[in-house]
Each structure stands twice: as structure tokens, then as C-alpha cells.
Amino acid sequence: MILTIINILFNIVLLNGLNEQDMKNYLDKNLSDYHSYEYTYLSKKEFAAEEVEIDFSRNFELKGNYGYVPILLKNNKIATKSTITLKLKLYDEVLVANRKIKKGEILRNSDFTIQIEEVTSKKGKLCGIQMNLSNFYSSMNILKGSILLEEMIKEKEDIFIGKKVDAIFNKNSFLITFPVTARNNANIGETIRVKRNDGIVFKAKVISKNEVEIVE
């Protein structure tokens, strides 16, 4: 924190006409997708300019934990383009696993807590805190304390492991229906294995979200 303050004060002196409130307002707008942020200056050279201002005709760039603020250096009404480099720490509200979750488990919102965490160097796309996780299952083992990323989950298929469905057996005009449990994830039209209550396993084609047709 002390280093941050020193960096800020140092650069207030250097950047004629560009005060800290200008920078804060600019970053508030360009980092509005995040809950909060911290920054320090990496540009420590003295600009040989009568006036320094943010160049709104160019875009702010965010690359990893670095931010690049476009500026104009003005001398005798002549403007020269330059850039201020900032080192950033970005924070956001994220879903954090409150238990170990095994691959293939159906997710529940209660498996996660909403926390504010640093996400600057987090690789992958963060899951939104408003997601209905009951529509998803884990595509990998998720450790307790892990920030939930979209790469860690998959949307449930029409039928998923452990789901109870009706199996239809139709052969030579002999038709029966009995309950089974899905042993694979699958969508309508795909073939899976299902297990009857007596332990016998069949191969079946998914014909709806609640029915399969025995094929073997």
C-alpha cells in the first residue's frame, strides 16, 4: 500500500495536467466489468511536455496484469502520442468451491460461495455468480477453494449419469416398460448403457429426456 501511494504521488508531479482523479475516472470506466482494482505506475520517466492528458481517441489495452493508458503530450499546441503503463490487480465476485467435487457430479449452487478474489492472472472464463448450476455437471475434479471457470463444467445432456428413466423393450409385438438408471450422459438419439434394478445392464437408445429404448 505504501509503495502504491509513493508511485501515485511521484507521478502526480510528473504528469502535468493529468491528476489522479482523471486516471481513476478513466479506469473506473474501462475496468467496470470488475468489482474493484489496484494499480501502480510502471512509467516513471518524466514527460517533456507542458501538458499531459488522456487520449480518448485511442482504446485502453488490458494485457494480463498490465494496463496501457493512451495519452497525449502537448507542447506549443503540438500533440504527441504516448502511453502510460500500469501494473494492475483486478478483483471480482466469483464462485468458489466449498467442497471437493468429483468429475461427473451434478452441480448445486450450494456447492459454491460467492467471494471477492483477485482474478488478474486467472486463465479461463469465470462463471457468472448468477448461473443456475443445477443445469451443469463437473467436467473435471474441482478442488475445494477453486474459482469456478466455464472450462470446469458442462451443461447436462438430455439424460445424465444416475438419472432414473423408463426403458421400453419392444420385440415381436412384445412390449414392456421398466425403470432403469442411466450409466452415461447422452442426448436424444444417442446410445447409452442403463442398469435395471436387478443389476442387469442394457444398451439403449435415448428417445426423450425420460425414456430410452432397449436395443441390446
pLDDT value of position 2: 35
Co-location of 86 and 148 in the same domain: no
Co-location of 148 and 195 in the same domain: no
pLDDT value of position 155: 86
Co-location of 143 and 194 in the same domain: no
Co-location of 104 and 174 in the same domain: no
Q: What is the mean pLDDT of residues 136-148?
A: 95
Q: How many domains does the chain have?
A: 3
Co-location of 85 and 95 in the same domain: no
Co-location of 14 and 67 in the same domain: yes
Percent of the chain, pLDDT > 70?
Answer: 89
Co-location of 78 and 7 in the same domain: yes
Co-location of 124 and 191 in the same domain: no
pLDDT value of position 48: 63
Environment class of residue 110 by beta-carbon count within 10 Å: exposed (0-12), middle (13-18) or buried (19+)? exposed
Is the distance from CB of 100 to CB of 141 less than 8 angstroms? yes
pLDDT in tens, 25-44: 999 999 999 999 999 988 65
Q: Which of 39, 66, 90 is the last residue of a domain?
A: 90
The SS3 assignment for 174 reads strand
pLDDT in tens, 70-125: 998 888 878 889 899 999 999 999 999 999 999 988 899 999 999 999 999 888 99
Co-location of 6 and 78 in the same domain: yes
The predicted model scores a pTM of 0.69
Co-location of 9 and 52 in the same domain: yes
pLDDT value of position 16: 61
Q: What is the mean pLDDT of residues 52-70?
A: 94
Domain containing residue 204: 164-214
pLDDT value of position 73: 87
Task: Give residue 9's pLDDT band: very low, low, confident or very high (50, 70, 90).
Answer: very low
CATH of the domain at 186: 2.30.30.760
Co-location of 13 and 26 in the same domain: yes
Which cell numbers hold the place of 132? 443456475
Co-location of 82 and 103 in the same domain: no
